A and B are shown apart, each in its own frame.
Chain A
Amino acid sequence: MDNELVPKHEILDEKEVEKLLQLYNVTPRQLPKIKEGDPGIMGLDAKIGDIIKITRNELVVGRNIYYRVVVRD
């Protein structure tokens, strides 16, 4: 999706996933979710259970990183 409303979506690799879960002391189930068929992750070939790293560019806050787990539609 190429629109100014859609921030950059990437799939996290295993190492980074582990680091992330440790940093926030969470399980993947506790993370916010994104649907498998979401237009934002179209073309990324994301599977259920993958963690998507979203690099947002916020108004006041600036660059901000958010994470979502891919779940079934």
Chain B
Amino acid sequence: MIERDIPESIADRLESMDKNKRKEFLDSYHKALVEPGEAVGTIAAQSIGEPGTQMTLRTFHYAGVVELSVPLGLPRLIEIIDARRNPKDPRMIIHLEKDIRKDEKKANEMAKKLLEVFLPDICDMKIDVKNNQLRIETNDEDIKKVLMKYTEDETGGDVYVIEKESLYDLKKIQNKLAKKRIRGVKGIKKVFIRKEGDEYVLYTNGSNMKVVYGMSGIDKKRIISNDIRQIYETFGVEAGRNIIVNEAVKVLEDQDLDVDIRHIMLVADQMTVTGEIQAVGRQGISGSKESVLARASFEETEKHILMAGLRGEVDTLDGVPENIIIGQPIPIGTGMVKLAIKSSLAPKKPIEGKKETAGENKVLDGKVSDVKKKIEKLDSADYKALIEAEKKGENRKTLLKWLESQID
């Protein structure tokens, strides 16, 4: 390989080197390159899959008012690779803007702004069964605004009363009110403030990238979530790819597993080739392959074959599974290359000493028994010519004898 065939990112590094160093560098660069035809995908799959067998299969469950389960290890890795829309444990790390970074008060304010607060969290709600009344006691301005829609009479300032004829209607209203979000950002269930160095950082349980990114007072450069879909939607494919790599690496590092990052990068790149995030599996990469046979060999065989029949799909047999199915060499490694030769270099006579037989005597090709059958089928055979041809050609004695016997 010549120097100009080197990708830009490598070529930049060469500039500062002298001749010897450059040669050494290029040598090791070429050595490090993957050979053409190497089955990198299979190797990546195995390299992630084998350590995967040693990961925790557990999902941690926290008992409590709201059931919370935190997937670690394999379950989390599966979440990442499947590009799930709603991960079990979404989190955000929010840094604050430069001028309020070191202000604990401002950090607390921000946390308050983020934290999702529901109506029953901050007020007393009681059903008075005797009088068919729902009494809500509060002094919160935000709640008052919400309650205005339901009731008009403001008895004694802080107490709101909703009256309905049946208890059932009252309960219905109560349930509705219980789900009303008074403050905060949808989905942010908890906010912790941690001091890192001399700045305050907010860690949240629950993630809502779109809304939080639009808020003021937040360092937009460093805001991060572990929800792959949300990152993709707000920052684009490249950020989505990066978060896939980062999250997968985090999981593997957590479990003390040593997987080369390049395998993960390959998976992440493959998940984002189309410009959006695709899961690995029948909904994503495997399900959108071009070849019918490759898709059918993975999952939902009948569906794919049936639809291919209806649409008249053509399989060009470019991939591995389809060639395994029909029993051909697979296009991997040495199977990728085909032999070609310049016609000027080709030997004049066929190889293996097979002498050329005249065009009219193709009948003589093949096994003796086959040749006999072929000749018998002919209406009129010129046996003398055939004998001559056979003598020049393979000169099989049994065939010659038979041919002579046929003359009579």
Contacts and interface: CB of A to CB of B under 8 A. Distances in A.
Which among B12, B242, B245, B246 has the highest number of chain A CB atoms within 10 Å? B242
Pick the 7 closest A-B CB pairs, nearest first: A40-B236, A5-B239, A33-B275, A39-B236, A38-B236, A35-B275, A32-B273
A27 interface: no
Contact of A1 (B224, B236, B249, B265): B236
Interface stretch (B1-9, B74-82, B289-297): B1-9
Contact of B261 (A6, A39, A61): A61
B261 A3 contact: no
B274 A65 contact: no
B235 interface: yes
Contacts of A32: 269, 272-273, 275
Contacts of A33: 273-275
B236 A6 contact: yes
Chain A interface secondary structure, helix, strand, loop or mixed? mixed
Contacts of A61: 261-262, 265
Contact of A7 (B223, B242, B274): B242
A60 to B, nearest CB: 5
Contact of B238 (A7, A59, A60): A7
B237 interface: yes
13 contacts: A4-B221, A4-B224, A5-B235, A5-B243, A6-B239, A33-B275, A34-B236, A35-B275, A35-B276, A38-B236, A39-B236, A59-B261, A68-B275
Contacts, number: 83
B44 to A, nearest CB: 15
A32 B271 CA distance: 10
A26 interface: no
B26 to A, nearest CB: 16
B189 interface: no
Chain B interface secondary structure, helix, strand, loop or mixed? helix
A38 B277 CA distance: 12
B222 to A, nearest CB: 6
Contacts of A38: 236-237, 275
A63 B12 contact: yes
A58 B221 CA distance: 17
A4 B93 CA distance: 13
Nearest to A54: B238
A6 B235 contact: yes
Contacts of B220: 2-3
B134 interface: no
Given A3-B239, A4-B222, A23-B7, 17 more contacts: A1-B239, A2-B220, A3-B235, A5-B242, A5-B243, A6-B236, A9-B238, A23-B5, A32-B275, A35-B237, A35-B276, A39-B236, A40-B235, A40-B239, A41-B236, A59-B261, A63-B12
Interface string A57-71: 011110111101001
Interface in B156-207: none
A63 B8 CA distance: 10
A9 B236 CA distance: 11
Contacts of B237: 34-35, 38, 40, 68
Contacts of A2: 220-221
B107 interface: no
A73 to B, nearest CB: 9
Interface in A13-71: 23, 32-35, 38-41, 54, 56, 58-61, 63-66, 68, 71
